[in-house]
């Protein structure tokens, strides 16, 4: 894990939290994006926890550089702002997730674990903003325009609904009393049937289909 934040006290708190968590080890710290890019290459972290507003190089610029370098590190954006343009920019540049600094420690740790396992991860609050922005940009989309939705089994629809609320595969598995492997299998089938290429698209589809509403996501936040 590489922790990148320009606020020393906040960064120290994150490092202490992560080093105390089972299975997590901080391999480096950075106070700016330029240093983050260099450390991402030299220390080989699985996940980079990246602030947005920093001196010398912003978190988004550092994210773009890390992705362009071909690094296997997955970048989880951590910020105080959930502005629509920030969420969309993070997705465009290849972020694996976007979590607010106000999140509870347990939610942050769950997000890091999910990202390390190859999942996309957004807090419920961020997920609401992302979907709202998407639907504003594509107001013509309707449930009837979603090919393949009728091909989903009942369990696959339930998995899609839960993915749409922004929770992790582990949380979905717990709610459905199945293994994470089973959840991944159902989700892969959903993605294939609906011709989706990312978890973010699956979330948007859950909203467009009416399986998820902003009120439902608010109750899971």
Residues 104, 174: one domain?
no
| pLDDT tens per residue across span 69-79 | 988 899 999 88
Residues 36, 115: one domain?
yes
Residues 166, 81: one domain?
no
Domain edge (last residue) among 88, 122, 156: 122
Is residue 128 domain-resident? Answer: no
Is residue 63 domain-resident? Answer: yes
Q: How confident is the model at residue 140 (pLDDT cuts 50, 70, 90)?
A: very low
Give the pLDDT confidence score for residue 184 in this predicted structure.
92
For residue 83, pLDDT over 60 is answered with: no
| Sign, Cα dihedral of 15, 17, 20, 22 | negative
Which range of residues forms the domain containing residue 11?
A: 2-122
Residues 12, 100: one domain?
yes
Residues 53, 115: one domain?
yes
Q: For residue 22, what is the domain's CATH number?
A: 3.40.50.2300
Determine which of 35-39, 96-100, 123-127 has the lowest per-residue pLDDT on average: 123-127
Is residue 94 domain-resident? Answer: yes
Is residue 206 domain-resident? Answer: yes
Domain edge (last residue) among 92, 122, 152: 122
Q: For residue 147, what is the domain's CATH number?
A: 1.10.10.10
Domain edge (last residue) among 122, 153, 176: 122
Q: How far apart are CA 97 and CA 200, in angstroms?
A: 10
Determine which of 79-83, 152-156, 188-192, 203-207 has the lowest per-residue pLDDT on average: 79-83
Is residue 134 domain-resident? Answer: no
Q: How confident is the model at residue 133 (pLDDT cuts 50, 70, 90)?
A: low
Residues 24, 99: one domain?
yes
Is residue 144 domain-resident? Answer: yes
Instruction: Specify the number of domains making up the chain.
Output: 2
Residues 118, 35: one domain?
yes
Residues 66, 112: one domain?
yes
Is residue 133 domain-resident? Answer: no
For residue 194, pLDDT over 60 is answered with: yes
Is residue 98 domain-resident? Answer: yes
Give the pLDDT confidence score for residue 142 in this predicted structure.
47
Residues 207, 109: one domain?
no
Residues 113, 25: one domain?
yes
Residues 118, 207: one domain?
no
């Amino acid at each position: 894990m590489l922790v990148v934040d320009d606020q020393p006290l906040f960064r120290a708190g994150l490092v202490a939290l992560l080093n105390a968590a089972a299975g997590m080890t901080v391999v480096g710290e950075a106070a700016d994006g330029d240093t983050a890019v260099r450390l991402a290459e030299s220390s080989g972290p699985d996940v980079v926890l990246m602030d947005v507003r920093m001196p010398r190089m912003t978190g988004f610029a550092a994210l773009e550089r890390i992705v362009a370098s071909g690094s296997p590190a997955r970048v989880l954006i951590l910020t105080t702002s959930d502005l629509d343009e920030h969420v969309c920019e993070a997705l465009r540049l290849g972020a694996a997730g976007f979590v607010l600094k106000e999140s509870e420690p347990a939610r942050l740790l769950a997000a890091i674990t999910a990202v390390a396992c190859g999942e996309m991860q957004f807090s419920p609050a961020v997920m609401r903003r992302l979907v709202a922005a998407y639907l504003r940009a594509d107001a013509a989309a309707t449930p009837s325009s979603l090919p393949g939705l009728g091909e989903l089994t009942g369990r696959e629809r339930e998995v899609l609904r839960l993915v749409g609320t922004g929770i992790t595969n582990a949380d979905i598995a717990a709610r459905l009393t199945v293994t994470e492997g089973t959840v991944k299998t159902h989700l892969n089938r959903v993605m294939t049937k609906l011709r989706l290429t990312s978890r973010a698209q699956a979330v948007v589809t859950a909203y467009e289909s009416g399986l998820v509403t902003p009120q439902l996501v608010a109750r899971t936040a």
